[in-house]
Structure 1
Amino acid sequence: MKRLATSLAFFLVLSLIVGYLLSGPALMDWPVAGGLFAVAVLGEGFRYWLRQTRAKKRDSSGV
């Protein structure tokens, strides 16, 4: 759980920096920052789901 929180915090900061850099003279480009963070959350969710699926396959060997 600590790795998930660290990873999401890193991607949150990264997406805010990219949103700020792409905004130009405006304060912040929120759609870009939010979209990048949404992609990061989906990626981390997929990675978590994939790990759980593999763990279930390993446990149900049927010996």
Structure 2
Amino acid sequence: MKRLAKSLTFFLMLSLVVGYLVSGSAFMDWAVAGGLFAVAVVGEGLRYWLRRTRAKKRDSSHV
């Protein structure tokens, strides 16, 4: 859980910086920042799901 929090915090900061850099005359491009953060959340969810399904396959015993 600690790794997930660190990873999402890193990607949140990164997406906010990118949103600020591409904003131009506006303060923040929220669509870009939100989209990048959404990609990070989906990626972390997919990584968690894959790790969980692999662990289930390893634990299943065929009697």
User: TM-score range with shorter-chain normalisation?
Assistant: over 0.9
Q: Give per-residue Cα distances to partners, 1:4-55, cap 9 Å, x unaligned.
A: 0000000000000000000011100000000000000000000000000000
Partner of 1:24: 24
Structure 1 runs of 4+ off > 4 angstroms? none
RMSD of aligned alpha carbons: 0.8
Partner of 1:34: 34
Gaps of 5+ in 2: none
**Alignment partners' CA distance in 1, 2:60 and 2:21:** 49
Query: What TM-score comes out, normalization by structure 2 length?
Result: 0.96
1:53 matched to 2:53? The reply is yes
Q: What percentage of aligned pairs have identical amino acids?
A: 81
How many residue pairs end up in the alignment? Answer: 63
Query: Shift of residue 62 of structure 1?
Result: 1.9
